[in-house]
Amino acid sequence: MTSYSIALIPGDGVGRDVTDAAWQVLSTVARHSGFTLNGTPFPWSCAFYKETGAMMPPDGIETLRRFDAILLGAVGWPAEVPDSVSLHGLLLPIRKAFVQYANIRPHRLLPGVRGPLRAENFDILCIRENTEGEYSGAGGRVHQGTTDEVAVETSIFTRTGVERILRFGFEQARARRGKLASVTKSNAQKYSMVFWDEITHKLAAEYPDVDVASYHIDAMAARMVMAPESLDVVVASNLFGDILTDLGAAIQGGLGFAASANINPDRSAPSMFEPVHGSAPDIAHLGIANPIAAIWSGAMMLEHLGEKNAAQTIIGALEKTTARGIGTVPGKDRTETIAAAVLAALD
Ligand code: IPM
Ligand code: MN
């Protein structure tokens, strides 16, 4: 029987509840589908940092490298550990070390979920560059604490990095409705973003079947609200993609529905799957976090592992659950109620 080894990092806050729920659903689907998921939990989190002084052990990356995939809940507990420390100690190094350069985030309304827009029939796949750009980590501070203090943080765009994410976007567009929107701010940022636009233009010649258009980030923000049905695949740099995907989460009814996959398309290292919502400290102890984003991320994991039918079964169960009005309104249903409804909808 095929068996997959999965590293489980529930992390902080609601990350623990939603990872539990997702794992129940994933294990059940695996059992029904004739494959095994072998989960190994890791306690890496802000609590782990408080105990050990690090978000993960020094060999954490090497430990994770042996797994087929990583399922992550959330990282961050700002009351105890600054976000700039926790994220740079766990989530961001994993994305970079494992060259998970494509962060994929689907934005559509599940049946029965009411978004804030009149539009209901949008189906957007945001693809965010996930290893460089504005998140390159290049920079520094000098003359700290004085009036002469300077802070520099440099975006880095490499030809390799830009070309591979755009190519990934073109391929996704080709497999979907054939439309690609490439997002920059090349009217103001004349080096990196013009570079990105040029590469978009160059690759377009290789994909004559894809209808490609370039947008500025500000115009794209407006378009996602005013005309989301006009969009198919949207590809953007790391920070721009980060911002647009919270907007995408909002129009799909909230962060409780926003799933994501950090993909290493070359499969030279494990990919990582996580809901977009984060640790949500305000509701962390209430048992009301929506597990749908985590479960949907788990389905994306199965899809990546090649278990397409099992992934589709989970998406179908999510759709049946929300169509019954369960998990559709923030805070109405408990995490365990929603998870139980999804489990029941599997068969
Ligand atoms: C996300 C999150 C992270 C990001 C934070 C927590 C560093 O907002 O996955 O969207 O900006 O990538
Ligand atoms: Mn974000």
Strand partners, 275: 259
Give me 69's structure tokens.
């995939």
What percentage of the chain has pLDDT greater than the value 90? 99
Q: Tell me the mean pLDDT in the region 200-217.
A: 98
- CATH no. for residue 155? 3.40.718.10
- The C-alpha atoms of residue 83 and residue 89 are separated, in whole angstroms, by 9
- Nearest protein CA to atom 8 of ligand 1, as residue: 242
Contact indicator for 15, 86 with CB cutoff of 8 Å: no
The pLDDT of residue 318:
98
Spatial separation of the C-alpha atoms in residues 243 and 184, rounded to whole Å: 13
Report residue 258 CA to chain centroid gap.
8
Residue of the nearest CA to atom 11 in ligand 1? 242
CA–centroid distance, 58 to ligand 2, in Å, is: 26
Do residue 306 and residue 217 come from a single domain? no
The closest-lying atom of ligand 1 relative to the alpha carbon of residue 103 is 9
Same domain, 53 and 98: yes
Reply yes or no on whether the pLDDT at 263 is more than 90: yes
Task: Give yes or no: residues 135 and 184 share one domain.
Answer: yes
Same domain? 83 vs 32: yes
Ligand 1 nearest atom to the CA of residue 95, by list position: 12
77 with 124, same domain: the answer is no
- Residue whose CB lies within 8 A of the most ligand 1 atoms, among 242, 244, 260, for a mutation test: 242
**pLDDT at 204 exceeding the cut of 90:** yes
Cα–Cα distance measured from residue 111 to residue 318, given in angstroms and rounded to the nearest whole number? 9
Q: How far apart are CA 68 and CA 5, in angstroms?
A: 5
Q: Is 119 in the pocket of ligand 1 (CB under 6 A)?
A: no
Establish whether residue 54 lines the binding site of ligand 1, counting it when its CB lies within 6 angstroms of any ligand atom. no
Q: How many structural domains are present in the chain? A: 2
Structural Rg of the chain based on CA atoms? 20
Select from 204, 228, 251 the last residue of a domain.
251
Indicate whether 84 and 132 sit together in one domain: no
Q: Which tens digits make up the pLDDT trace of 215-238? A: 999 999 999 999 999 999 999 999
Mean pLDDT of the chain: 98
* 54-107: pLDDT as tens digits: 999 999 999 999 999 999 999 999 999 999 999 999 999 999 999 999 999 999
Last residue of a domain, one of 251, 277, 300: 251
Distance CA(333)–CA(319), nearest Å, equals 16
Whether 244 contacts 233, CB under 8 Å: no
| 285 and 178 share one domain | no
Helices (H), the chain: 14-33, 46-52, 60-65, 83-89, 91-97, 159-175, 192-204, 217-226, 238-251, 292-305, 308-323, 335-344
Amino acid at 274: E
Q: Whose CA is nearest to atom 5 of ligand 1?
A: 87
Q: Are residues 273 and 174 in the same domain?
A: no
Which residue range forms the structural domain that includes residue 178?
116-251
Q: Are 295 and 314 in contact (CB under 8 A)?
A: yes
Which tens digit of pLDDT belongs to each residue from 266-288?
999 999 999 999 999 999 989 99
Report the C-alpha gap between 222 and 324 in whole angstroms.
32
Paired sense of beta strands 102-108 and 259-263, if any: antiparallel
**Residue with CA at minimum distance from ligand 1 atom 3:** 242
pLDDT greater than 90 at residue 240 = yes
129 lines ligand 1 (CB under 6 A): no
Domain boundary among 251, 277, 302: 251
Q: What's the pLDDT score for residue 82?
A: 98
Using the CB atoms, write b or e for 171-187: b if 16+ within 10 Å. bbbeeeeeebbbbbbbe
Give φ, ψ of 233 to 5 degrees: -100, 135
Same domain, yes or no: 210 and 157: yes
Looking at the structure, tell me whether residues 243 and 282 fall in a common domain: no
Same domain, 241 and 125: yes
H helices, E strands: number in the chain: 12, 12
Q: Is the pLDDT at 347 greater than 90, yes or no?
A: no
How many angstroms does the Cα of residue 276 sit away from the middle of ligand 2? 6
Residues 120 and 203 in one domain: yes
Distance CA 162, CA 133 (A): 9
Q: Residue range 10-35: average pLDDT?
A: 98
CA dihedral 215, 219, 224, 225 (to 10 degrees): -170
